[in-house]
Amino acid sequence: MDLIERLRAGLPEAALLTDPDVTGSYARDMANFCAAGTPAVVVLPRTVEQVQHVMRTATALGVPVVPQGARTGVSGAANAADGCIVLSLVKMDRILEINPVDRLAVVEPGVINAVLSRAVAEHGLCYPPDPSSWETCTIGGNIGTAAGGLCCVKYGVTAEYVLGLEVVLADGRLLRTGRRTAKGVAGYDLTRLFVGSEGSLGVVVRATLALKPAPPRQLALVAEFASVAAAGRAVCEIMAGGHAPSLLELMDRTSIRAVNAMTQMGLPESTEVLLLAAFDTPDPAADLAAVGALCEAAGATQVVPAEDAAESELLLQARRLTFTALERLKPAMLIDDVCVPRSRLAAMLEGTAAIAEKYGLTIGVCAHAGDGNTHPLVCFDPADPDEERRARESFDEIMALGLALGGTITGEHGVGVLKKEWLARELDPVALELHHTIKQALDPQGLLNPGKLF
């Protein structure tokens, strides 16, 4: 019995996609310059038992399996391998429970981040992780990449909200990790092991997530700086001063001009850096005034606080549109997400600008300044072989710069295919050996998302 027949024996016909024109559309995520293979079949399960059947079949036949969510990732982590089963979890999209007393939600992996956020808001709660693709990305994908977002500076990243998981292992067994309690330290933290594992250790089929009380509407300000160094000083002073902004974001001049060109927002193009700060505290105006004073003391040329929530949202919309605006400048873009200590943020931006000049490229930078997570976006034309070469070399230099500054090659996008050779450079040799040991223990045939991470 061949692969398709064995899968069909335990799956409804609608769950199997075999038309090459259709399966080919599942071959890759949004990282256009990462290798992707041709899947043998795409499976769209709706139940845990169906996922278990897929994994048992794959193990019996030695067929690789690539778990996928909405494929909004930018590192190639969801890219197919030749002859694989693409296991798309988007049909497992039920919110199973929202518990206001225990402040948790239980969801399937295909639930869209924004759908969950709106559902819990009806109970006066919030699910804080908010990746820029929150309107389309799935919770399973967020867990796989340990996703972040704009609010990380105050509320943290996905890993801090995953209380427990149900995971189908490579051999089809169902593993339950974690808890529903507010705290618990029984045994190894297997839940955290799977968060950020990019589908290489098991298939998440259910997640228990922590929720927070919904905060007040946030108010924002924008501060203009004539130099990266001054903006970096402001970030350091804000964080050292004990302030807890709900958002602290940065845009460089290239990003500002790109957003203006797309939206006609009228952002100040003469400035080198815009710093956006927001507070969702009981008295946000007072917090903004204190932060505004710190920005002015650090060298801000102008500080403009928003008058209300609507004006705040308009300011923040500019930051959210940065990726889209820079994509319009050239036919292609390499998206980096190097994270450095906050104290080295200015050095990271200055170094990136020097790399852009060295290679004669347009590299816009936006950043989650409050946690040092920078997004250098390398714009280039792949039809020009020399420009593509320069883009790839600049990308590598940016990652090397981040490591030299005490940072990491990825703060929230993951390793996938794009950065796997760099993971070995970042990790201690003993740590890398342990990665391989864990992978071997949970996936001895190496079937789960092969070719990713390492």
Q: How far apart are CA 54 and CA 52, in angstroms?
A: 5
- The answer to whether 95-213 and 330-419 have equal CATH topology is no
- Tell me the residue type at 20: P
Q: What's the pLDDT score for residue 277?
A: 97
The DSSP code sequence of 143-166 is HHHT---TTHHHH--GGGGEEEEE
Q: What's the pLDDT score for residue 68?
A: 98
CATH code for residues 95-213: 3.30.465.10
- Tell me the residue type at 252: D
Per-domain residue ranges of the chain: 3-88, 95-213, 216-321, 330-419
Enumerate residue ranges in the chain where pLDDT < 50.
none
Residue 112: name the closest of 86, 99, 85, 131 by CA.
Answer: 131
What Rg, from alpha-carbon coordinates, does the chain have?
Answer: 22
CATH code for residues 3-88: 3.30.43.10
User: What are the tokens at 134?
Assistant: 């929150």
Cβ atoms < 10 Å from Cβ of 22: 10
**Under DSSP, is residue 418 helix (H, G, I), strand (E, B) or coil?**
coil
CATH code for residues 330-419: 3.30.70.2740
The CATH class that applies to domain 216-321 reads alpha beta
Q: What's the pLDDT score for residue 454?
A: 87
Q: Under 8 Å CB-to-CB from 304, ≥6 apart: which residues?
A: 221, 222, 223
Q: What's the pLDDT score for residue 1?
A: 61
Q: How far apart are CA 292 and CA 238, in angstroms?
A: 9
Q: How far apart are CA 413 and CA 244, in angstroms?
A: 24
Q: What's the pLDDT score for residue 304?
A: 93
Q: How far apart are CA 33 and CA 391, in angstroms?
A: 11
Q: Is 235 left (phi over 0), alpha (psi -120 to 50) or beta?
A: alpha
Residue 109: name the closest of 147, 70, 139 by CA.
Answer: 139
* Orientation angle between helical segments 385-404 and 345-359, nearest 10 degrees: 160
Residue 298 burial class via C-beta count within 10 angstroms: exposed 0-12, middle 13-18, buried 19 and up: buried
pLDDT digits (tens, 9 = 90+) for 155-170: 999 999 999 999 999 9
Cβ contact 164:207 at 8 Å: yes
pLDDT digits (tens, 9 = 90+) for 336-389: 899 999 999 999 999 999 999 999 999 999 999 999 999 999 999 999 999 999
> Could you give phi then psi for residue 240, rounded to 5 degrees?
-65, -25
Q: What's the pLDDT score for residue 150?
A: 85
Q: What is the pTM of this model?
A: 0.94
Tokens 């290679």, residue?
359
Q: How far apart are CA 167 and CA 157, in angstroms?
A: 20
Element (H, E) at 229: helix 228-240
Q: How far apart are CA 352 and CA 398, in angstroms?
A: 6
